[in-house]
Structure 1
Amino acid sequence: MLSDLHQYRFETAEYRAGDFNIFAAVRMNKSDSRILHIVIEGDGYAWVGRYTKSDNPTPKDAVGVKIANAIQGDVIYLARPCQYIASSVCETNKYWTEERFAPEVVRAYNNILDQIKANYGVSSFIITGFSGGARIAYDLSMMRGDILAVNTVAGVIDVAAWTSYHDISAVQAIDHQSSMNMAQVAYMHICGQDEAIVPCYLHEKFIKQQSKKSDAVHNLVKIPNYSHSNLWAPAIKYLQIENPQ
């Protein structure tokens, strides 16, 4: 994967935030744009099987890297905790399983965005999240006022609905019911109609719920004949790349 990043003209980096070390790949073309695109990776190789947790969540197929490479312009790819690099928090597997969306994880990414703003002088972000990375992107959009748009690709957003669908143990996630960010973030959700991991109806249910809570725009694109691992390629043309306002 690292050779692919160099081929794609990315420079690797590492962000320290809280107790987490987060791997990053940066491609900055020194454009005049003050809007930066962030791509957040999926859960990676979190599970060996339905009942067996992985010892290393580094993706076997880094879909987030493929998405980042396909985006024109300045972009920073952010891996998830314990992918590619380890820290003391990686001594247990909770941060790529039941606590992968825990508040301290989201706070770490929030801190990283602050670091990125300071380092590169950007004013706002567009964030694309793949699979579980979509939930991190959504959480950040609810916490910050500088996120213009969020794209989710095969995204896990409603964590409780997703775990119920798969009949698996609950996964900790932030409850935004009482802390709704009313900023006008534009959301684009992209799902594959052959998807079994995050079926389109979960997106439809989530969007219906959100329409009752805020004026934020949630759009949904359903792509036929694509599923979780290959959806990224046709999804690229639907991503919000420019300021949607």
Structure 2
Amino acid sequence: MRRIVWLSMLLLSACATPSERFAGVARGLGFDELTIRTERFAHRIYSHAGVGEGAANKTLHVYLDGDGTPWLQKRWIAEDPTARNPMILKLMAQDSAPSILLGRPCYHGFSQTDACSNKFWTSHRYARPVVASMAAALNRWLETSGFTEVVLIGYSGGGTLAVLIAPYVEKVKAVVTVAANLDIKAWSEFHGYLPISDSLNPAVEPALSPDIRQFHLAGGKDDNVPPFISAAFVKARNGAQVIVYDDFNHQCCWVEAWPAILNKISAGSRAFIADGFR
């Protein structure tokens, strides 16, 4: 009987959409789910259970996922761009601080809605309407909470969005990016891709306020977003810091190291300097 149930679960999982599988993992980790709608898009938000309880004067960690799967086999545009590997959830699950995952427009089950077009996960993935809607959704969520400070934590393309969103959320006090393509022109040229010409490029946007701490983490063996991209971005911005983990690539080994990384972020830049990171 158990074998039949197990096989049935596998079959259901195989038939599920990427959004459904992602939501299933979130539920399995005990995260709550809600939807916030802005003037243009709907956004899925996953949060630690009880994140709103006793939040006054506390810091909220806001996680932003990467680009997921915009293309299938680099040839066909995906119908659902939601991440097939929910690594962002595994990071958030290890975070003892109050935290939420802010979903991107047209991800997490909204790809076929009237407001959405596949351009919002391909050429316009970092476009102004995407940035504006994500900032509006976060500000709306914060209105009903007691949090006084926000740390934006973005993985891959989510790091790109974290830098772009930060100026529009007054409570942001720090931005942490992990393997993020912070210069989308340099990243496209490195891979020989067509330029993402209808998206905003953090590398040419105005620098963030010096009041916002910036930690940009890169993997020394990352052949998707090589560390020179983060290093060049940081070089032009006073106060920002790049931290290169020599043995990490785009996916390994961020999940395993995440608790230690969070401790260093809480301690500030001196903790990374003491450990000899550059």
Shared fold by TM > 0.5? yes
Higher helix share: 2
SS in structure 1 at match of 2:108: coil
CA RMSD of aligned residues (A): 2.2
Show CA shifts across 1:203-231 (max 9, x none). 11111122xxxx3x222222233211224
| Unpaired stretches in structure 1, ≥5 consecutive residues | none
Flag as ranges the 4+ runs of structure 1 deviating above 6 A: none
Aligned partners of 1:154 and 1:231 also within 8 Å: no
Q: Distance in 2 between matches of 1:123 and 1:35?
A: 6
Aligned partners of 1:188 and 1:220 also within 8 Å: yes
Higher-Rg structure is: 2
Show CA shifts across 1:187-245 (max 9, x none). 111111111100011111111122xxxx3x22222223321122422451223654859
Corresponding position of 2:227: 200
Which of residues 5, 26, 35 is equivalent to 1:14? 35
Corresponding position of 1:131: 156
Show CA shifts across 1:130-156 (max 9, x none). 110001100122334321111111111
Corresponding position of 1:100: 125
Aligned partners of 1:128 and 1:137 also within 8 Å: yes
* Alpha-carbon shift at residue 74 of structure 1 (Å): 0.9
Which of residues 59, 62, 67 is equivalent to 1:43? 67
Corresponding position of 2:115: 89
TM-score normalized by structure 2?
0.79
* Count of residues paired in the alignment: 239
Aligned partners of 1:101 and 1:136 also within 8 Å: yes
* Alpha-carbon shift at residue 160 of structure 1 (Å): 1.4
Q: Distance in 2 between matches of 1:156 and 1:175?
A: 9
Which of residues 99, 106, 123 is equivalent to 1:75? 99
> Does the C-alpha gap of structure 1 residues 26 and 205 become closer, same or farther in structure 2, counting only changes over 3 Å?
same
Corresponding position of 2:275: none
Q: RCO greater where, 1 or 2, for CA within 8 Å and sep 6 or more?
A: 1
Amino acid at match of 2:199: A
Show CA shifts across 1:48-98 (max 9, x none). 1223221110111012111111111211112222222212133x3100011
Aligned partners of 2:139 and 2:169 also within 8 Å: no
Show CA shifts across 1:25-51 (max 9, x none). 011162444321100011011111223
Write out aligned runs for 1:1-245 (5 A).
1-27=22-48, 28=51, 30-32=53-55, 33-86=57-110, 87-90=113-116, 92-171=117-196, 172-174=198-200, 179-210=206-237, 215=238, 217-236=239-258, 237-239=260-262, 242=266
Percent identity, aligned pairs only? 22
| Unpaired stretches in structure 2, ≥5 consecutive residues | 1-21, 270-278
153-162 vs 168-177, which moves further: 168-177
Show CA shifts across 1:154-200 (max 9, x none). 11111111111112122133367574443411111111111110001
* Alpha-carbon shift at residue 10 of structure 1 (Å): 0.9
> Does the C-alpha gap of structure 1 residues 126 and 192 become closer, same or farther in structure 2, counting only changes over 3 Å?
same
Aligned partners of 1:37 and 1:241 also within 8 Å: no
26-35 vs 98-107, which moves further: 26-35
